Structure 1
Amino acid sequence: MLHVRVISPADRTDEVLAIAADCPAAVNVIKLPGAAYDPAGDVVEFDVAREGANGILAELRGLGLKDSGGIAVEHVDLSISTAAEGAGDAAPGDPEDAVVWEELSARTNAETRMTWSYMAFLALAVQIAAIGALLDQPILIVGAMVLGPDFGPVAAMCFGVLQRDLRLIGAAARTLAIGYSVAVAITLVFAVLSRLLGWIEPSMLDDRPLTSFIIHPDRWSFVVAVLAGVAGILSMTARKSSVLVGVFISVTTVPAAGNIAVAIALAHWDEVGASFVQLGVNLAGMILAGVGTLLVQRIMWARFGRSTSVRVPR
C-alpha cells in the first residue's frame, strides 16, 4: 500500500475527495479542513494499492496541485485493515509487479545529479578495479563492481528514452561521461605516480588469466549486459534493491574504466581500445534492455482498467 497526503486549496478539496472516493483501490480517506499552513489549504490523506496508484496520481496532478498545493507519497510497511485488503483485491495485478511511474520518474531524476558522493564512489570503484587488473585478482574486480554507482544514470537514460525526454537523457549521459572521465583521470594520476615509484611496471598487464575478460569483449559481454539491464530495471520498479548487487557484479563497466587508466599509464595501448569497447558494449546492452523492459511494463499496465490505468508522467 501507498499513503498519499494531499495539500489542496479549499476550492479543490471536493474534487480531491471525489477522486479518492471513486477509486476502488483507495481506502481510509481523511479530510482535515484548514490543516495546512504553508501553502494554506485543506489536507486530504488516503491509502491506495500500488496497482491503482498511477491513475489516481495522474488525476490529482491534473488538478494543478503541484503548483497550488502538494502531493506526497510514502510506502506503508504494515496495514492492518480489512478495507485495505479489499482495495488490494479490487486492483488487478500484484503490488510487486506494479510500476508507479511518478515514483520512477522522481527516482531516475535524482540519479542524474552530479553529487560528490556519486563521484567519490565511482572514483573509488575504478581505482579498486585498476588494482584488481594489475594484480589479476578477481575478488577486487567483484568488489569494484559492487561499489560502482553507475547503474543509476543508466536507468535514468532508459526512462528518458521511454519518455522521449531529451533533458533527462542529456543529464544522465552527462553524469555518466563526466563521472567516468573524472574517475579514470584520478586513477590514471595514481597509476602514473605508482609507476614512477616503481610499484607497478608494464609486465604486470602481460599475463592475466583470471581477469583477461576485461579486455576481451564479445557477444557474451553483450548478452550478460542485456540480462543485467532487465534485472536492474525490474529491481527498481519492484523496489528490490538487493537485486541491484547482482546487476553490479554482472557488468564490466567499472573494471573496463579501471583498466583504461592503468593501460594508459603502462603504455598498453591495445588494451585501452579494447577496454573502451568493453565499456561501450556493456552500456549499450543495459540501455537497450532497460528501455525494452520499461516499454513492456508500460504496455502490460496499460491493459488494466481505470483504477489501474498507467499514465506515464510527462
Structure 2
Amino acid sequence: MLHLRVVCPTTTTDDVVRVLTEHPGTTHLVVLPGVAVQPEGDVVEADIAREATDEVIAALCGLGVDHHGGITLEQIDTALSDAADRAERDAPGEAADAVVWQELVSRTGDESRLNITFLAFLSISCLLAAVGVVTDSAVTIVGAMVVGPEFGPLAAMAVGLVRRRFDLVRRAGLALAVGFPVAMLITALGTVLGEAGGLFDRNALGGEHTVDFVYKVGPFSLIVALLAGAAGMLSMTSAKSAALVGVFISVTTVPAAGYAVVAAVLGDWNRSLESVAQLIVNLVGIVIAAAAVLLVRRRTFTTPDAGRPLSTG
C-alpha cells in the first residue's frame, strides 16, 4: 500500500474527503483541519491500495489540489490492519500490475537528469568496460554493466514518448547525448595514459577474446535489448526493482562504448565502428521495448497525465 498526504485549501477539503471515502481502495482516512502553514489549509491523510492510486490521484488533480496545495505518496512496507486488507481486496486489479503514472514520471524524470553524479557513474562504468576489454575480463565487463546509469534516461525516454511528455524526452535525450560522449572522452584519455604507462600494448585486441561479444552485432543484439527493455520497464512499473539488476547485466550499452573507445585509440577502426553500432542497437532496442510495455499497460490504466513540470532540483 501507499500512504497519501494531501495539503489543500479548506474550501476543497470536503471534495477531497469525498473522493477518498467513495473509493473502495482507500482506508485509514485522517483529516487535520487548519494545520497546514505553507500552503495554508487542511491536511488529509489516507492509506491507499497501489492499484487504486492512479485513479485517486487523477481525481485529486481534477480538483486542482496539485496547483493549490500538494499531494505526496510514500511506500508502506508493512500494514497490519483488517481495513487495509479490505481496501486491497476491494480495489480493482492487482497491486503488482498497477501503474502509478505520476510516480513513474517523477521517478524517471529524476533518474534522467544530467548532473555530475550521472556523468561520474557513466564515466566510471565506461572506464571499467575499457579495463575489461584490455584484460579480457568478462567479470569486469559485467561490473561495468551494473554500474552504468544509462537505463534511467532510456526508461524516461520511453515514458515521455508514451505519455507525450516531450519535456521528459528532451531531458533524457540530453543526458544520453552529453553523457556518453563525455564518458567516452574520459575513457579515451585513460586508455591513452594506460598505453603510455605500459599497462597494455597496441596488440591487446589481437586474436580471439572472451569479451568479443561486446562489439559483435547480430540478431541477438536486438533481441536481448528488446527483452531487457521490456523486463526493465515491467520492473519499474510493478515496483519490483530487484529485476533491474538482471537488466543491467544483460545489455551491452556501456561495454560497447568502452570497447569503441579502446579500439579507436588502438587503431582498430572496424571494431570501433561495430561497437558503436552495438551501442546504438541496444539503446534503440531498449527504448522501443520499454515503450511497447507501457503502451500495453496503458490500455488498462488510462487516466490523463497531470502535466506537471519536471523538478529541476
| Bucket of the pairwise TM-score, normalised by the shorter protein | over 0.9
RMSD (Å), alpha carbons: 1.2
Structure 1 residues 62-81: Cα deviation after superposition (integer angstroms, max 9, x where no partner): 12122211111111111111
Residue pair 1:202, 1:268 contacting (<8 A) in 2 also: no
| Alpha-carbon distance, 1:228 to partner | 0.4
Question: Structure 1 residue 121: deviation in Å?
Answer: 1.0
Match of 1:157, SS state, is: helix
Instruction: Tell me which amino acid in the other structure corresponds to 2:24.
Output: P
Give the residue type in structure 2 aligned to 1:148.
G
Aligned-residue offset at 1:239: 1.3
> Where does residue 291 of structure 2 map in the other structure?
291
5 Å matches for 1:169-248? 169-248=169-248
Matches within 5 A, 1:1-314: 1-302=1-302, 310-314=303-307
Q: Secondary structure at the match of 2:204?
A: helix
Contact 1:225–1:285, Cα closer than 8 Å, also in 2: yes
**2:61, 2:306 within 8 Å by CA — same for their partners in 1?**
no
Cα separation, 1, equivalents of 2:120 and 2:285? 25
**Structure 2 unaligned blocks of 5 or more:** 308-313
CA offset at residue 168 of structure 1? 1.2
Q: In the alignment, is the contact (CA less than 8 A) between 1:136 and 1:208 conserved in 2?
A: no
* Structure 1 counterpart of 2:33, one-letter code: P
- Kindly indicate whether the alpha-carbon contact (under 8 Å) linking 1:55 and 1:311 is maintained by their aligned counterparts in 2: no
Q: Alpha-carbon deviation of 1:313?
A: 3.6
Aligned length: 307
91-100 or 213-222: which moved more? 91-100
- Kept after mapping to 1: 8 A contact 2:259/2:272: yes
In structure 2, distance between residues paired with 1:159 and 1:210: 35
The separation in 2 between residues aligned to 1:126 and 1:197, in whole angstroms, is: 19
Instruction: Choose 149-158 or 166-175, whichever is displaced more.
Output: 166-175
CA distance in 2, matches of 1:169, 1:40: 34
| CA-CA distance at 1:178 after TM superposition | 1.0
- Distance in 2 of aligned mates of 1:129 and 1:21: 54
User: Per the alignment, in what secondary structure is the counterpart of residue 42 of structure 1?
Assistant: strand
Look up the equivalent residue of 1:42 and give its one-letter code: D
In the TM superposition, residue 298 of structure 1 has moved relative to its aligned partner by 1.1
Q: Distance in 2 between matches of 1:215 and 1:19?
A: 55
Opposite residue 63 of structure 2, the aligned amino acid is L
CA contact (8 A) 1:25 1:52 kept: yes
Q: CA deviation at 1:139?
A: 0.6
CA drift of 1:288 comes to 0.7
CA distance in 1, matches of 2:118, 2:10: 42
Alpha-carbon deviation of 1:136? 1.0
Secondary structure at the aligned position of 1:200 is classed as: coil
TM-superposed deviation, 1:208: 3.5
CA distance in 2 between partners of 1:67 and 1:293 (Å): 31
Separation (CA, whole Å) in 2 of partners of 1:66 and 1:207: 61
Give the gaps of 5 or more residues in structure 1.
303-309
Residue 253 of structure 1 and its aligned partner are, at CA, apart by: 0.4
TM-score by length of 2: 0.95
SS of 2:281 mapped into structure 1: helix
Same amino acid, percent of matched pairs: 44
Kindly indicate whether the alpha-carbon contact (under 8 Å) linking 1:214 and 1:278 is maintained by their aligned counterparts in 2: yes
